[in-house]
Amino acid sequence: MRPRMYHCSFILGDTLYSAGGLTFGSESLDELIGINLERMEVSVPKLSSSVRFPYHGAAATCFYAQRYSEGVHLSAEKLFMAIDWAIASYYIQHEGVYFFGGIDPETQRESDRLMVLKPVQASEITFEVKYPETKGVGPRARCMHTLTYFQAQNMLLVYGGKAQPDQELLAQHKQHNRTRKKRSKKKQRRLSNDSCQASSAHLTPSQQEDSSHQSASSQLSRSYRSKSIADRSMLNSYQSGVLSDLCILNLHSMTWVGVRFSSDSAFLQPCFNHAATMIGSKLLILGGLDHHHAHVKHFMEIIFGQSKQDYKDLEAILNED
């Protein structure tokens, strides 16, 4: 077994699998290998077709809850059993190990390929290779992102990563900002006039002017403060290629769906080389690098169902007694 980095890994039963990556001299590894964690033996599973695994990609195991022992570990004995549909609460159109994105070893560019490896034989593990068709608008080609399975909602979550800077989106965003600023100026004048009319019966002329200005400014400053942060986040993402989007694949219909947050001003931290995991209905995103290639010093919670997000300072938490 050759040394490697930037590969994907996953566990099925008592076997740890490693797919792709780079080895000495930045040589790409196209292989899928398995390591039996009980006997510490290395094997090469069979694939139904040849695959050039990417590096800097991401993988996630997406299986029915019935295949897990004690709700935590995928059981080798249960991987091939028939599903009891009387107790199944959801349907996975393509059950298996999902791979998305990464650097294609042939083109050396970011990929947007979605691939599934499905175990199909118990005696000698063999994987069927699938490239499922999806509906909706999928994620941009990327690398150094995370791929997480939200089992309770039967959704696959793609977050962050790096991509080629998108000049077209950058131009569209700048045009949108110019249009929004013009509308905001009109709204400020309208709020100022409305405030003057409402308070004219109770204030002196000088007081009316001060009050209307303060009222309009306070209403708009709160809106500008949150929206400007979100705008800067998106602008940095377009310029640097460091992504801040959350993309969701419904595994029942194989449809990419959008995300709606409880606040219009909600924004996500652009980052790559981070880690993510699901705990209950929360997606926890930890660490990584931002668009300045600086370490991200907080972790973020995205709470599904309530559609909100929360940032917590990582250094403060680590320094707690």
How many domains are there within the chain? 2
Q: What's residue 217's pLDDT?
A: 44
Per-residue confidence (pLDDT) for residue 22, from 0 to 100? 94
Same-domain status, 236 and 248: no
Is 90 exceeded by the pLDDT of residue 223? Answer: no
Are 141 and 178 members of one domain? no
Whether residue 53 sits in one domain with residue 199: no
Q: How far apart are CA 8 and CA 216, in angstroms?
A: 53
Q: Which of 304, 272, 300 is nearest to 286 (CA)?
A: 300
Confidence band of 71 (pLDDT split at 50, 70, 90) = low
> Tens digits of per-residue pLDDT, 250-285?
999 999 987 777 665 567 888 999 999 999 889 999
The mean pLDDT value of the chain amounts to: 81
Q: Per the domain annotation, does 89 fall within a domain? A: yes
Q: Is the dihedral of CA 80, 81, 84, 89 positive or negative?
A: negative
Tokens, residue 139: 């994620």
Helix and strand element counts for the chain (H, E): 3, 21
End-to-end CA distance of the chain: 42
Residue 52: both structure tokens together: 């050039």
- Asked whether residue 299 is assigned to any structural domain, the reply reads no
Burial of 203 (0-12, 13-18, 19+ CB in 10 A): middle
For residue 8, give every residue at least 6 positions away whose Cβ sits within 8 Å of its Cβ, in sequence order, or none: 18, 19, 20, 21, 53, 57, 58, 59, 99, 102
169-214 pLDDT, tens per residue?
A: 556 556 666 676 677 666 677 766 665 555 555 545 555 545 444 4
Mean pLDDT of 274-302: 90
| Residues 149 and 178 grouped into a single domain | no
Decide if 144 contacts 272 (C-beta within 8 A).
yes
Please indicate, yes or no, whether residues 185 and 55 belong to a single structural domain of this protein.
no
**What is the model's pTM?**
0.77
Is 290 within the bounds of a domain?
no
Mean pLDDT of the region 17-36: 92
Amino acid at 184: S
Determine the pLDDT at residue 147: 98
HSE-up of 257 (CA within 13 Å, CB side)?
15
Q: State mean pLDDT over 123-137.
A: 92
Residue range(s) defining the domain that contains residue 42: 8-164+242-264
Angle between helices 205-240 and 167-199 (to 10 degrees): 170
One domain for residues 152 and 178: no
